[in-house]
């Protein structure tokens, strides 16, 4: 695999701020030379189809009224209804939501799922809200975006700081508005409400599956491998459990509150049982550079976007980087990693396990027939292995990175759909 730097890209990257939408646009520019005749449609990918900005006013427990800004972006619906999570975070912006929606378009196409790409978010620190305030925020936000979501239109799911409970409130609010129980309006729901077995850990499982396949292709054994993980939430914790269960040593972990390092391997089950996360563990360090310097074979990025900077890319000792998070690597850091011969399994395939089991959940809801967890995990494993095999072959044939190869395959599918549908009117 190699980097596809060109003077055009370099000039863009050198001036780019870590704005996720700029990162996404740079990724599209990199793939354009490989799109042949479809390249005439590539501008489609640079324009979100629809972006809704909503005001979310709620009455707080102390009687005051606060307003929060929320978004739902449908980036591309050429291949099917919108699909993508909802994030509650104080740094949510329209540009971030646009980028996350666009990465969903690429991801669903890379996995050949019959969806487009969408994403939503509310600019709020949910840790400062009571449960009652969180429910009100979720319900009002849902009501505002119900103009454009629906089981055949756009189907949200969990993302950073949103859970199965939040999905249950969204499903209930939407159902009250349409007058019937609409299970298929969200995925990642509790099992009692039509959720799917295996969904909670699906994204982390996909990180493990793609990591296992990539590792075997570069001659790296999972058993005994040293693994560092940034982000120990839904994605990072499930990946940590699976790597540890398969004999890897998790030597460093970092969340937003602290870092833990132990070259002999951390006890993952004990750590994940800590109600306060890393900060609740004796020996936790502040989040300085130590995490990035720790010797490891595999680095899992499972926190937020723009975390892998060129400086960190020069420091890391990993041979394999797994992007559990969306957009964690800046384009110029991608170049540093490629120059150092460090293999990156990109977000748009690495973390696609979540949307794949969300697709299974949506199918199960429509057919009202539910599958066993073994069946779901086996189907997920097979779809991800098949998708990665095609991407690997494309990367080798074209001497391009796995990221660009994933975009080549996904963009061909999206732009073929665009071209065959034609422009209306
Ligand atoms: P989460 O809220 O469950 O966990 C996020 C984790 O990142 C927490 O441990 C948090 O402490 C940590 N974190 C946040 N800011 C940090 C910082 N500055 N430094 C270090 N750690 C930090 O979220 P999640 O659902 O696990 O999502 C994580 C990433 O995976 C996001 O990029 C998300 O878009 C992506 N993703 C999630 C899913 C899913 O199914 N949940 C699917 C695909 C992709």
DSSP secondary structure letters along 48-115: -SEEEEEEEEEE-TTS-EEEEEEEEEEEE-TTSSEEEEEEEETT--HHHHHHHHHHHHHHHHHTT-S-
Instruction: Choose one of 126, 160, 271, 280 to mutate for the ligand 1 pocket test, by most ligand atoms within 8 angstroms of C-beta.
Output: 160
**Nearest alpha-carbon partner for 313 in 336, 295, 283, 294:** 336
CA-nearest residue, atom 40 of ligand 1: 354
Residue 325 to residue 203: CA distance in whole angstroms: 10
Give the residue from 297, 331, 349 where a domain finishes: 349
Q: What is the CATH number of the domain that holds 171?
A: 3.40.50.10860
User: Could you tell me if 112 and 234 lie in one domain?
Assistant: no
pLDDT of residue 69: 98
User: Model confidence over 53-87: pLDDT tens digits?
Assistant: 999 999 999 999 999 999 999 999 999 999 999 99
Does a structural domain hold residue 220?
Answer: yes
Does a structural domain hold residue 399?
Answer: no
Give the residue from 184, 213, 246 where a domain finishes: 184
Question: Distance from the CA of 237 to the center of ligand 1, in angstroms?
Answer: 10
What domain count does the chain have? 2
User: Could you tell me if 149 and 280 lie in one domain?
Assistant: no
Residue 158 to residue 361: CA distance in whole angstroms: 13
Residue 276 to residue 387: CA distance in whole angstroms: 37
Atom of ligand 1 nearest to the CA of 304: 32
User: Model confidence over 140-155: pLDDT tens digits?
Assistant: 999 999 999 999 999 9
User: Could you tell me if 275 and 215 lie in one domain?
Assistant: yes
User: Could you tell me if 141 and 233 lie in one domain?
Assistant: no
User: Could you tell me if 229 and 180 lie in one domain?
Assistant: no
Could you say which of 83, 119, 189, 249 is catalytic?
119
Atom of ligand 1 nearest to the CA of 235: 26
Does a structural domain hold residue 408?
Answer: no
User: Could you tell me if 222 and 153 lie in one domain?
Assistant: no
Does a structural domain hold residue 380?
Answer: no
- Residue 126 Cβ inside 6 Å of ligand 1? The answer reads no
Helix (H, G, I), strand (E, B) or coil at 252: strand
Does a structural domain hold residue 197?
Answer: no
Q: 258-261 and 298-301: which strand pairing?
A: unpaired
User: Could you tell me if 122 and 244 lie in one domain?
Assistant: no
- Residue 27 Cβ inside 6 Å of ligand 1? The answer reads no
Any idea what the Cα angle at residue 202 is, between residues 250 and 136, rounded to 5°? 105
* 234-245 helix and 202-217 helix, angle to the nearest 10 degrees: 50
Residue 166 to residue 188: CA distance in whole angstroms: 9
Residue 289 pLDDT grade (very low, low, confident, very high; cuts 50, 70, 90): confident
Q: What is the CATH number of the domain that holds 318?
A: 3.40.50.720
Give the residue from 123, 156, 184 where a domain finishes: 184
Does a structural domain hold residue 356?
Answer: no
Over residues 262-275, the mean pLDDT reads: 93
Does a structural domain hold residue 167?
Answer: yes
Give percent of the chain with pLDDT exceeding 90: 92
Annotation says 119 is catalytic: yes
Q: Between 194 and 2, name the one with better pLDDT.
A: 194
Contact by Cβ (8 Å): 406, 349: yes
User: Could you tell me if 292 and 326 lie in one domain?
Assistant: yes
User: Could you tell me if 144 and 78 lie in one domain?
Assistant: yes
- Domain holding 162, by residue range, is 48-184
Q: How far is CA 112 from the centre of its chain?
A: 16
pLDDT of residue 244: 98
User: Model confidence over 377-409: pLDDT tens digits?
Assistant: 999 999 999 999 999 999 999 999 999 999 999
User: Could you tell me if 71 and 180 lie in one domain?
Assistant: yes
Beta-bridge partner residues of 121: 71, 87
Q: 298-301 and 320-323: which strand pairing?
A: parallel
User: Could you tell me if 149 and 211 lie in one domain?
Assistant: no
pTM of the full predicted structure?
A: 0.95
């Amino acid at each position: 695999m190699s980097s596809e730097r060109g003077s055009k890209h370099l000039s863009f990257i050198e001036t780019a701020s870590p704005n996720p939408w700029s990162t996404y646009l740079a990724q599209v520019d990199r793939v354009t030379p490989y799109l042949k005749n479809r390249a005439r449609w590539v501008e489609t990918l640079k324009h979100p189809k629809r972006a809704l900005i909503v005001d979310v006013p709620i009455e707080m427990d102390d009687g005051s009224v606060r307003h929060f800004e929320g978004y739902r972006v449908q980036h591309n619906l050429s291949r099917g209804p919108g699909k993508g999570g909802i994030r509650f975070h104080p740094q949510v912006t329209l540009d971030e939501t646009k980028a996350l929606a666009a990465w969903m378009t690429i991801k669903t196409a890379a996995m050949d799922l019959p969806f487009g790409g969408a994403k939503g978010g509310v600019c709020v620190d949910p840790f400062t809200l009571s449960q009652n305030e969180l429910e009100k925020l979720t319900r009002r936000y849902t009501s505002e975006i119900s103009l454009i979501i629906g089981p055949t239109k756009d189907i949200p799911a969990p993302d950073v700081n949103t859970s199965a409970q939040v999905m249950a409130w969204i499903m209930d609010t939407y159902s009250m508005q349409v007058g019937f129980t609409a299970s298929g309006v969200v995925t990642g729901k509790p099992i009692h409400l039509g959720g799917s077995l295996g969904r909670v850990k699906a994204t982390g499982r996909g990180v493990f599956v793609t990591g296992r396949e990539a590792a075997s292709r570069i001659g790296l054994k999972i058993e005994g491998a040293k693994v560092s993980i940034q982000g120990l939430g839904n994605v990072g914790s499930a990946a940590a459990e699976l790597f540890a269960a398969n004999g890897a040593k998790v030597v460093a972990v970092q969340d937003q509150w602290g870092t833990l390092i132990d070259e002999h391997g951390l006890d993952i089950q004990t750590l994940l049982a800590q109600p306060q996360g890393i900060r609740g563990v004796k020996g936790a360090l502040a989040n300085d550079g130590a995490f990035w310097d720790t010797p490891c074979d595999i680095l899992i990025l499972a926190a937020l976007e723009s975390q892998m900077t060129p400086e960190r890319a020069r420091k890391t000792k990993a041979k394999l980087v797994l992007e559990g998070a969306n957009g964690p690597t800046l384009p110029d850091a991608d170049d540093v990693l490629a120059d150092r011969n460090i293999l990156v399994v990109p977000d748009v395939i690495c973390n696609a396990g979540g949307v794949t089991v969300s697709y299974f959940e949506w199918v199960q809801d429509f057919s009202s027939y539910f599958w066993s967890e073994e069946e779901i995990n086996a189907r997920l494993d097979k779809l991800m292995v098949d998708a990665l095999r095609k991407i690997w072959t494309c990367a080798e044939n074209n001497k391009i990175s796995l990221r660009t190869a994933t975009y080549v395959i996904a963009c061909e599918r999206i732009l073929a759909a665009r071209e065959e549908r034609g422009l209306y009117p």
